Chains A and B, each alone.
Chain A
Amino acid sequence: MDIATGGKGRCGMKTQGRARDVQILELSKTFQTKSGEEIHALKDIDLHIQPGEFVSVVGTSGCGKSTLMRIVCGLIPATRGRVLVSGEAVDRPRDDVGVVFQNAVLLPWKTVKDNVLVPMDLRDRRRPEHEQRAKALLAMTGLSGFEAKYPFELSGGMRQRVSICRALMCQPSFLALDEPFGALDAMTREAMNLELMRICAETRATVLFITHSVPEAVLLSDRVVVMTPRPGRIADVIDVRLPRPRTLKDYASDLFNDYTGRIRELLGAETLA
Chain B
Amino acid sequence: MTTPAESESYSALKRSPSPAGLRRWGRDALLAIALPSITLVLLLALWDWAVVYFNIPSTLLARPGAVVSELYYGVTSGLLAKHTLITMQEVVYGFAVGAFAGFVLGAAVAESTWTRLALYPFLVAFQMIPKVAIAPLFIIWLGYGVSSKVAFTASITFFPVVINTIVGLRSVDAEVLEMMRVFRASRWQTFWQVKLKFALPYLFASLEVAMVLSVIGAIVAEFVGATGGLGYLILQQMHTLETARVFAVLVVLSLLGIVLSWVIRVAARRALFWHESERGTPS
User: Which of B41-49, B101-109, B178-186 lies at the interface?
Assistant: B178-186
**A101-B179 contact, Cβ under 8 Å, with A108-B274, A148-B11, A153-B10:** yes
Q: Which listed residue, A144, A149, A191, A195, touches B11 by the CB 8 Å rule? A: A149
Q: Which listed residue, B6, B179, B185, B275, touches A153 by the CB 8 Å rule? A: B6
**A101-B175 contact, Cβ under 8 Å, with A93-B181, A108-B274:** yes
**In the bound complex, what is the Cα–Cα distance between A75 and B1 (angstroms)?**
33
User: Which of A54-62, A154-162, A208-216, A234-242 lies at the interface?
Assistant: A154-162
Q: Which listed residue, B9, B173, B180, B182, touches A149 by the CB 8 Å rule? A: B9
Query: Are the C-beta atoms of B183 and A119 separated by less than 8 Å?
Result: yes
Q: Which residue of B lies closest to A110 (CB)?
A: B274
Query: Are the C-beta atoms of A153 and B274 separated by less than 8 Å?
Result: no
**In the bound complex, what is the Cα–Cα distance between A148 and B9 (angstroms)?**
11
Query: Are the C-beta atoms of A155 and B181 separated by less than 8 Å?
Result: no
**In the bound complex, what is the Cα–Cα distance between A141 and B3 (angstroms)?**
12
Query: Are the C-beta atoms of B2 and A143 separated by less than 8 Å?
Result: yes
**In the bound complex, what is the Cα–Cα distance between A107 and B27 (angstroms)?**
37
**In the bound complex, what is the Cα–Cα distance between A151 and B11 (angstroms)?**
12
A118 at the interface (CB under 8 A from B): yes
B34 at the interface (CB under 8 A from A): no
Q: Which listed residue, B175, B194, B279, touches A152 by the CB 8 Å rule? A: B279
Within 8 A of B (CB), among A112-131: 118-119, 122
- The number of A-B residue pairs with CB atoms under 8 Å apart is 71
Which residues of B have CB within 8 Å of A152?
A: 10, 274, 279
Within 8 A of B (CB), among A28-69: none
Query: Are the C-beta atoms of A95 and B184 separated by less than 8 Å?
Result: yes
Which residues of A have CB within 8 Å of B274?
A: 108-109, 150-152
Q: Which listed residue, A119, A141, A155, touches B5 by the CB 8 Å rule? A: A155
Query: Are the C-beta atoms of A118 and B9 separated by less than 8 Å?
Result: no
A86 at the interface (CB under 8 A from B): no
A73 at the interface (CB under 8 A from B): yes
* B184 to A: closest C-beta gap in Å: 5
* A17 to B: closest C-beta gap in Å: 16
Q: Which listed residue, B3, B10, B183, B273, touches A93 by the CB 8 Å rule? A: B183
Query: Are the C-beta atoms of B5 and A154 separated by less than 8 Å?
Result: yes
**In the bound complex, what is the Cα–Cα distance between A150 and B11 (angstroms)?**
9
Q: Which listed residue, B2, B10, B194, B275, touches A142 by the CB 8 Å rule? A: B2
Which residues of A have CB within 8 Å of B185?
A: 122
B170 at the interface (CB under 8 A from A): no
Query: Are the C-beta atoms of B182 and A93 separated by less than 8 Å?
Result: yes
**In the bound complex, what is the Cα–Cα distance between A95 and B179 (angstroms)?**
12
**In the bound complex, what is the Cα–Cα distance between A155 and B7 (angstroms)?**
11
Which residues of B have CB within 8 Å of A105?
A: 173, 175-176, 179
A-B contact pairs, 16 of them (CB 8 A): A75-B178, A93-B182, A99-B179, A105-B175, A108-B275, A122-B183, A122-B193, A144-B2, A145-B2, A149-B9, A153-B10, A154-B5, A155-B3, A155-B5, A155-B6, A158-B5
